[in-house]
Amino acid sequence: MVEYKLEIAKLIKEQVDLELEEIMSMIEVPQNADMGDFAFPCFKLAKTLRKAPPLIAKGIAESLANASMFEKVEQVNAYVNMFVSKEEFVKDAVAEVLEKKEDYGKSNVGEGRPVIVEFSSPNIAKPFHIGHIRSTVIGNAINKIYDAMGFKVTRINHLGDYGTQFGKMIVAYRHWGCEEDVKREPIKTLLEYYTKFHVEAETDPSLEDEARETFAKLEQGGQEETKLWQWFRDESLKEFTRVYDMLGIQYDSYAGESFYSDKMPQVVEELKEKDLLVESRGAMIVDLEPFGLTPAPILKTDGSTLYITRDLACAKYRENTYNFYKNIYVVASQQNLHFQQLKKILELMGYEWAKDIIHVPFGLVSLEEGTMSTRAGRVVFLEDVLNKAIEETRKIIEEKGVVTENVEETAKQVGIGAVVFNELSNNRIKDYVFKWDKVLDFNGETGPYVQYTHARCASIIRNAGEMDLTGFDPKYITSESAYQLVKAIADLPQVVIEAGEKYEPSVVTRHIVDIAQGFNKFYHDEHILVDDPEEKKAKVALVVAAKTAIKNGLALLGMDAPERM
């Protein structure tokens, strides 16, 4: 459909004295299908042409009427409504999907340029709860979308594996720790230590000093401390990996905060050389007041570093290592200010690539009881949600009895898919309240609905038997419902690009729902496996195209598409 827009713009340009690009931007897709495939509003031309908009529309409509690409062109008030020739469009669109198969939806707008996507980035020794799902799943979808756009993507898990909290953890372990407990349930146990530390520190403030000293030793490479830290990190990562495996997520790098610990002195030095560092209240800061931002502390009063110090070192390292076209951070909107500061400081340091730092924020997840708090016990663990969804799915599968083999595998694909799809359904900036009955609802615009549609396509294709689909006759798939389905399928590649440009996976999610709805309507309106072999061939070709588009779309969201469910 994109190519059509350009062709239409060229035709209109013959009538109107405007830049091609401007005409392109004026062409729109009517919200109502019976107003055509494309529309051109003529209000804006009234001034320059000194004619009433409907008259201008009439003139353009008449001049376009004979173009072979249109079936019909009509003027309605100030609009030129265009109906493209269905058969040719349907033939090209469906044939393209059949030819590209699993590559359908991909493009090469990226031209192999390197892009970094940093996502998930949990803190070591803290449990993975439902709040962490956002960065993890949104980031994973963005990495797949950029990959499909032809960028060379590096996936980074910027682990929170550094800071004073590790001083506390080591101190707690030394006082009350038990090796077996940590090995058996690392995160839960380490969290207990961390919590106990805070409780004890209230009555014994010397613990805080001990923690600071211990972290200082860790930073200086103390053997004992490093060994413990490494152990905590490894055990935690094992547990995270279990969740990533369930979600089918992989990384190219786990370079977290600790990785940059030895790269910070240079950055601090550089800030000094560039006269950006000033002393204030005993700490070293970068003054950002002229830019409407609060000051960014770089070194604490005791000389130790902060989050932004590490992120500065990290950004420089990534630029040197990857020479990125975009460095994308999928991080909660609470850190908007942090990323504004980060970008501004890099800009002040004279790095033109500061503009390629992209913060992709998302809204807050809370519970009905309030904000999540691990320490207060107000928390829902991600693994529990996934397992519960799998369990519910298994029940439904057993009730339906369609799937008898690989029940467990199918239950996983659908159950986890439901959670992922739900997460990627809305604009990421929206806050939401986690509700069990919402994630476990498998009716309506949900993951299972789309996967079910895919399985339905698969079922029809199985029933059709082996068929050679080449040379299908498009005239059998030009009915209103078939045509709307083809249009939705044909839009997928463009939708993927739009989602990438907006860093918004929900654009893809919603479009897959459109395709599924289009298919279900087509399925309901028409019989597919008819006796006439030519008609059957064309209709099966359309079913294959729909199945392919849904499957590829789901893959971009990090979801599987089972053949049966």
**Active centre residues (catalytic):** 126, 129, 132
Question: Of residues 32, 66, 206, 404, which one binds RNA by CB under 7 A?
Answer: 32
What backbone phi and psi angles, to 5 degrees, belong to 432? Answer: -150, 160
Concatenate the DSSP letters of all residues of 1-24 into one string: -HHHHHHHHHHHHTTS-S-HHHHH
Question: Of residues 20, 33, 52, 429, which one binds RNA by CB under 7 A?
Answer: 429
> Binding of RNA at residue 344 (CB under 7 A)?
no
Distance, in Å, from the CA atom of 179 to the CA atom of 158, rounded to the nearest integer, reads: 27
Residue 55 amino acid letter:
L
Q: By rule CB under 7 A, what string of x and - marks binding of each residue 374-403 to RNA?
A: -------------------x--xx--x-x-
Q: Give me the least distance between CB of 492 and RNA, in Å please.
A: 16
- Cα distances (Å, whole numbers) of residue 169 to 151, 177, 302: 40, 10, 21
> Binding of RNA at residue 194 (CB under 7 A)?
no
Which residues are within 8 A (CB) of 156 and not within 5 positions of it... i.e. 6 or more apart? 116, 117, 118, 119, 251, 252, 253, 254, 255
Question: Of residues 4, 18, 24, 30, which one binds RNA by CB under 7 A?
Answer: 30
Question: In terms of Cα–Cα distance, which of 362, 384, 344, 325 is closest to 116?
Answer: 325
Q: Give me the least distance between CB of 313 and RNA, in Å please.
A: 13
Residue ranges with strand state E in 15-57 = 38-41
Question: Of residues 10, 174, 184, 300, which one binds RNA by CB under 7 A?
Answer: 300
Residue 13 amino acid letter:
K
> Binding of RNA at residue 50 (CB under 7 A)?
no
Number of residues that bind RNA (CB under 7 A): 88
Helix H, strand E, coil C: the string for 161-186 is CCCHHHHHHHHHHHHHCCHHHHHHCH
Residue 183 amino acid letter:
K
Question: Of residues 455, 538, 544, 550, which one binds RNA by CB under 7 A?
Answer: 455
- Cα distances (Å, whole numbers) of residue 213 to 162, 179, 301, 544: 14, 23, 15, 64
Nearer to RNA, 138 or 153 (CB): 138
Question: Of residues 5, 36, 142, 550, which one binds RNA by CB under 7 A?
Answer: 36
Residue 174 amino acid letter:
R
Nearer to RNA, 139 or 297 (CB): 297
From 84-92, 220-228, 435-443, 470-478, give the range in contact with RNA by CB under 7 A: 435-443
> Binding of RNA at residue 54 (CB under 7 A)?
no
Collapsed DSSP state (helix, strand, coil) of residue 476: helix
Strands 365-367 and 432-433: parallel
Question: Of residues 48, 77, 195, 470, which one binds RNA by CB under 7 A?
Answer: 77
Using only C-alpha atoms, what is the Rg of the chain?
28
Q: Give me the least distance between CB of 482 and RNA, in Å please.
A: 11
Two tokens, residue 512: 């897959």
Nearer to RNA, 147 or 514 (CB): 514
Q: Give me the least distance between CB of 511 and RNA, in Å please.
A: 9
Nearer to RNA, 178 or 402 (CB): 402
Site for RNA in 131-170 (CB under 7 A): 160, 162-165
> Binding of RNA at residue 324 (CB under 7 A)?
no
From 5-13, 141-149, 244-252, 429-437, give the range in contact with RNA by CB under 7 A: 429-437
> Binding of RNA at residue 107 (CB under 7 A)?
no
What is the end-to-end Cα distance of the chain in Å, rounded?
A: 33
From 36-44, 180-188, 226-234, 347-355, give the range in contact with RNA by CB under 7 A: 36-44
> Binding of RNA at residue 521 (CB under 7 A)?
yes
For residues 483 and 562, the answer to whether their CB atoms sit within 8 Å is: no
Q: Give me the least distance between CB of 445 and RNA, in Å please.
A: 4
Q: Give me the least distance between CB of 75 and RNA, in Å please.
A: 9
Nearer to RNA, 35 or 469 (CB): 35
> Binding of RNA at residue 321 (CB under 7 A)?
no
Question: Of residues 69, 95, 467, 529, which one binds RNA by CB under 7 A?
Answer: 529
Nearer to RNA, 180 or 368 (CB): 368
Q: By rule CB under 7 A, what string of x and - marks binding of each residue 472-511 to RNA?
A: ----------------------------------xx--x-
Q: Give me the least distance between CB of 412 and RNA, in Å please.
A: 12
- CA torsion 468→470→476→477, rounded to 10°? 110
Count of residues in the chain: 565
> Binding of RNA at residue 249 (CB under 7 A)?
no
Distance, in Å, from the CA atom of 116 to the CA atom of 95, rounded to the nearest integer, reads: 34
For residues 456 and 562, the answer to whether their CB atoms sit within 8 Å is: no
Residue 90 amino acid letter:
V
Site for RNA in 275-294 (CB under 7 A): 280-283, 285, 292, 294
> Binding of RNA at residue 295 (CB under 7 A)?
yes
- CA torsion 548→549→552→558, rounded to 10°? -130
For residues 132 and 382, the answer to whether their CB atoms sit within 8 Å is: yes
